[in-house]
Structure 1
């Protein structure tokens, strides 16, 4: 991707971030508050870590002063998050405590921003700054927890005058900070300066929003947090992303320093870095590249062989297209340490070769996919509940009315069957929501033991079921639903004499197979077998079972396929990494 499009990508990421926050807000204000605060805390701590680890190579101490301050501000913000109403971490405190912590953290942040330009032109003693911010933070927390800090929020009344006036004072400090930073704009990188100014003014808007709510769960409170997320995202772009994509702007004083100094510096930068000669042979890389390649040092190898034939050739081809001074962005998907990672390489052609800097954007892609999956899951669940459940309830009601008029037991039996089907559909939608929910930690699971547990709760009738092999996989509780669907379908719909569940591992990966000798899947259903709503003629199911299976296995990074059995029957095979 052309570098000129980086702001478009930034806007897309903002859109994804806002969508995630909206979903959280729609679901639970407390979850929304937790996510938005953790986002800001992580960025603040990251700025502090980068600043501290690169302090000996900075041209000025502007970044270092902000970074040290943000570590302590993040600490107070974390306490604010834990103290928020509904978190129930600090017993005996009401909604005033998180509001006091909030206003204290914002005073510190505004102070840090207004003082930081001083260290563009003068040196900072990092140890003194660390001790100073630590003492200031400790004193502030002492005042708050000892009850000496003015009240900021009163239950049933809302914000106190002190809280409102404090927000206005903070706004005034931020205006001074904007002017102060503006005086030193020529000493700052143009993009960094613009992004910091935008961040300051988003903070101004955020503080103004926090003067307008009467409940800690009010909409203006949420808007204030959204503006805060935007503020910290801009700081991320200014200090971390810009510094990462072109780290020599902020971290390197001189590209012609000794190799030892350059290598030492590269290992402090949170970005993958590769330097090659004109023939694309790697002459320098940092430890993050070595980690990505599972411990293999690419130094001395050509770029193509370092990353494997297909991925390396694509990267080499894209880089070779560049003229001197030109840049491009190449995305690469690589499996490292048994995890699928997406790396975004920023490539620059220099006079003596090529410089590649890679960003791990896996989390961004996962966040984007999560929002899409949540929306799709909600649509499927709502559709099922609205359509299928309503149909069964209408059937039950109609048969109850007929039973009242005719007193025939057959109508009552049909009504009971319809209500039982309603319960089954509701249970299935619960399983679907659980099975498709991303973000839960995966753990080691014994497939044989899991299959035995599923069979223990299933009526197999006269069908002979066999288990062959042993296999350990990485999955979650949704795997039980997967096995239950495949085995249940084989027994119920295929009408087989035998069903075998086979499991094994080979050089390609791990495999689970459910095989039956029944009547097989009709030809016209095979292509859409794993799509939502696909079911055979006469089936009373919802058509979501195999759809659930496919989505769950894809979440594990695998695939599920159907094969006709030989000489008859069906084979459903799961392939996992």
Structure 2
């Protein structure tokens, strides 16, 4: 937690301490003894408050720093109370001079410094609270015995002389111990919130300044002593902000520092998992028990065409599946939630993309369960099999067309062979008959037709041999024009932008034949135009020319293999190539105004690389 994110109450506390220090300093003008009592009692109350927070939270603490510090501060507060009661002018400990409170002061400072130095090293340990309590009680007891019962504690203040060397050097040693404690806290700052670390370090730095101020006074009522006590109160004020105020208002910053670290680690693991999911080539979708999206990976986002944050929270079936399959897949999802895992474990589903097209995804679905074992959602991993589906369908259609072709070709070739054999026989029987040249010419024509059949079979057998692929009609048309070497005065114009179609590799022959037929059979053709238009989720590629066009009675016949006597096999081949990936072609022009061929490309079989249609 950062300072700027602190609650207003903590900021008000800083203001309160500033006012308190000013008011506290003002009380010294009336009575230094009153100032001293108030200053000491403020630190005693804060120390006890830290102990109360630490002790009551001891069963929840994973970080033992607060426990050790709290117990140590309790005993610091106890000895400091004795120091306050023994201060010069209080008149409670009869027979003692100003040396006694100074000895007690040094004892508390040593105990505080050792506490703040040792506590950072106990962060990851799990000491027994009562054992820690007993150790501090034993140390405090020894210090008090050395002062009151067996007076071996060195003198710290001599009336009329001032501070002893032991007292001054002790302050320096205590300052060094405190500095080491600050370094230890900073080195282990990952165990605390930034707020706690900053205020702990500030408390120790101010405490060091306080100790140094206490090396300068001669009188226990002197200005250096007053400054030292004000700095001491400020130091404990920072401790209050770090442990008491934060522990009450924002307890996780103190009591659950390991929880914060665990949450941070969990966040890092979650980010790492998301990175793994994003790297994976598969699609991942997580749905809650209501069928709403809770997570998708990058691949899914790319396929759908939506950013992840636009998908999360949406109902998957209603939003991203075509209407025709929603009912079936809703039943599968509900079956998974009821425990019928096998019914929907594998599913092949079309999904709707942002551009209105569909992609076919093969899913493997797994039920997610909560701690009680109840189904709480699903995790689906998927593979985009759109192209594979097209390829499989293309192969099926190619096999069917090849089987059909083999029957047609065999029948036609046999017919032509019979014709050729008959005319050859006529020629052989005719002797000097003048009809012999005619018979031979007709036999030659039959043989030529056989050759055309064989050549067509060679082209047709390539259908479906290679897998379909994404291809740019604009590039294929340009190559076809170059191969045809069109007559002067004939222009081919394209308006296809970045259009790509998923088609058999032989699709170039489609555009080649359309252009060739227009030039050879369209009359005085001067221009052939290619364009496209979106029709719902499908797309239509249009080929138009300004020739004579196709008579109404022949618009369907031109695509039949039997129509070869006029146009050859060109348009029959065109229809077969397009059919491999589900495309169709028809002629819709007006006779006398020019031919117009429309190629229908199904949803999923087209895309625009340079922009939307």
Looking at CA atoms only, which structure, 1 or 2, has the larger radius of gyration?
Answer: 2
TM-score, normalization: structure 1? Answer: 0.44
TM-score, normalization: structure 2? Answer: 0.42
